[in-house]
């Protein structure tokens, strides 16, 4: 069997044509395709405003910056995420405070959020792990009670729904990523969506050096050369050919999610009776977007031994995630106490990500399952 990666983009001829059309035009960056992509995202999600940027990481960074919180504010987030989530807090000179996760969904635990609140807490960044929305109602109640901003890191969850409403309509600011392993791709790319006009205006400026008029606004016979730098922004701009790819990909998003869902169900059916594999729990009030398919191995299985066996069988398994507080930068700078995160620690030791992407055909799932079932537990 050829190697099966854990994730993979889907690019077709329509996507390629849209990109090459832009490459043949006069605007290859900061042109009309950006707004078209942002409008298409707003329409898909059902929100008012969108700022497209060059990565999910940049989107998180300017989202935190746009809130203009006092330096050193505490922002509560999950440790069970890609480090970009908590790094955005540190870029902005704030303090990351981790809350433990729920044992069933691996999403941030609202009860632990409550325990971590102090008078310096100003915001919560919650991550919809694997594409399953968090307990948004409970998190919103906490935010209302303590007057906190909410940022939803939905890099795994574009197209997901919570209580029949699309993700992107709940938090003050919601973040998406368009990296190739995500549901839709622009190569690299990301976006912030919001219904808050003031935040939207600030975010559009922060994306381009904090300058109030972009190149297109300063272009043409009647336009002025003048501009003003209002905030300390950066160059987080996405190009027009990436935006064109995003527009084309977005048209296929629901189909991609449906394929992912079908494959996830196929894994569930085939692995249902495998004693050492615990399948994902999906809550009844969500539409899961299935960015990744993770399973928990039974305690007696050595995950790292199993991982090596699967890799040797041409199966591109992965581990999502090493808890953020375990990375050496976090240890050197903050030295969090692992004992505070007993659920995260336990899940981290046992979790493994199986391949899942829309192009994956059912017989590849069957091959992965056959390899899993053939595993001999010799690693302990």
Ligand X SMILES: Cc1ncc(COP(=O)(O)O)c(C=O)c1O
Out of 42, 50, 53, 84, point to the residue binding ligand X (CB under 6 A): 84
Beta bridge partners of 57: none
- Our finding on whether 77 is near ligand X (CB under 6 A) is no
Out of 31, 96, 168, 190, point to the residue binding ligand X (CB under 6 A): 190
- Closest alpha carbon to 45 in 250, 290, 198: 250
Provide, rounded to whole angstroms, the least separation between the CB of residue 77 and ligand X.
Answer: 10
Residues 109-168 that bind ligand X (CB under 6 A): 127, 153, 155-156
- Residue 87, CA distances (Å) to 59, 75, 207, 350 in order: 12, 11, 18, 25
Number of residues that bind ligand X (CB under 6 A): 14
- Our finding on whether 211 is near ligand X (CB under 6 A) is no
- Our finding on whether 318 is near ligand X (CB under 6 A) is no
Provide, rounded to whole angstroms, the least separation between the CB of residue 122 and ligand X.
Answer: 20
Provide, rounded to whole angstroms, the least separation between the CB of residue 245 and ligand X.
Answer: 14
Beta strands (DSSP E) in 21-88 are 49-53, 74-77
Provide, rounded to whole angstroms, the least separation between the CB of residue 312 and ligand X.
Answer: 26
Beta bridge partners of 153: 127, 175
Sheet (strand 351-354) strand order: 277-278, 293-297, 351-354
Query: Are 233 and 206 a contacting pair, CB within 8 Å?
Result: yes
* Kind plus residue range of the DSSP H or E element containing 278: strand 277-278
CB atoms within 10 A of CB 36: 16
Residue window 42-61: x/- pattern of binding to ligand X, with contact defined by CB under 6 A: -------------xxx----
- Our finding on whether 177 is near ligand X (CB under 6 A) is yes
- Our finding on whether 179 is near ligand X (CB under 6 A) is yes
Provide, rounded to whole angstroms, the least separation between the CB of residue 10 and ligand X.
Answer: 17
- Closest alpha carbon to 54 in 153, 225, 189, 180: 189
Q: Which is nearer to ligand X, 168 or 190 (CB)?
A: 190
Provide, rounded to whole angstroms, the least separation between the CB of residue 205 and ligand X.
Answer: 20
Query: Are 177 and 193 a contacting pair, CB within 8 Å?
Result: no
Task: Using CB under 6 A, list all residues that contact ligand X.
Answer: 55-57, 81-82, 84-85, 127, 153, 155-156, 177, 179, 190
């Amino acid at each position: 069997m050829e190697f099966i990666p854990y994730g993979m983009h889907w690019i077709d001829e329509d996507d390629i044509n849209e990109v090459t059309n832009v490459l043949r035009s006069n605007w290859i960056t900061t042109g009309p395709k950006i707004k078209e992509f942002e409008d298409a995202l707003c329409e898909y999600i059902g929100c008012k405003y969108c700022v497209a940027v060059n990565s999910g990481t940049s989107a998180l960074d300017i989202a935190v910056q746009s809130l203009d919180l006092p330096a050193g504010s505490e922002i509560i987030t999950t440790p069970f995420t890609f480090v970009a989530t908590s790094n955005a807090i540190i870029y902005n000179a704030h303090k990351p405070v981790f809350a433990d996760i729920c044992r069933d969904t691996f999403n941030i635990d609202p009860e632990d959020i409550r325990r971590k609140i102090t008078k310096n807490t100003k915001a919560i960044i919650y991550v919809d792990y694997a594409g399953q929305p968090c307990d948004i109602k409970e998190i919103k109640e906490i935010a209302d009670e303590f007057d906190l901003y909410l940022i939803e890191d939905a890099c795994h969850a574009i197209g997901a729904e919570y209580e029949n409403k699309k993700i992107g309509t709940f938090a003050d600011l919601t973040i998406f990523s368009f990296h190739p392993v995500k549901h839709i791709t622009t190569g690299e790319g990301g976006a912030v969506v919001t219904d808050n006009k003031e935040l939207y205006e600030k975010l559009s400026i922060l994306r381009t050096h904090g300058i109030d008029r972009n190149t297109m606004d300063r272009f043409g016979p009647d336009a002025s050369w003048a501009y003003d730098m209002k905030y300390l922004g950066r160059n987080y701009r996405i190009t027009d050919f990436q935006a064109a790819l995003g527009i084309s990909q977005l048209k296929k998003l629901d189909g991609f999610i449906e394929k992912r869902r079908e494959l996830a169900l196929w894994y569930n059916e085939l692995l249902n009776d495998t004693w050492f594999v615990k399948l994902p729990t999906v809550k009844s009030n969500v539409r899961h977007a299935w960015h990744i398919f993770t399973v928990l191995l039974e305690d007696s299985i050595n995950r790292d031994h199993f991982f090596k066996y699967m890799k040797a069988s041409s199966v591109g398994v992965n581990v999502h995630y090493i808890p953020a507080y375990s990375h050496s930068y976090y240890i050197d700078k903050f030295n969090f106490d692992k004992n505070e995160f007993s659920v995260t620690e336990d899940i981290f030791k046992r979790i493994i990500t199986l391949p899942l992407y829309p192009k994956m055909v059912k017989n590849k799932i069957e091959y992965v399952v056959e390899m899993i079932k053939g595993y001999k537990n010799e690693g302990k």
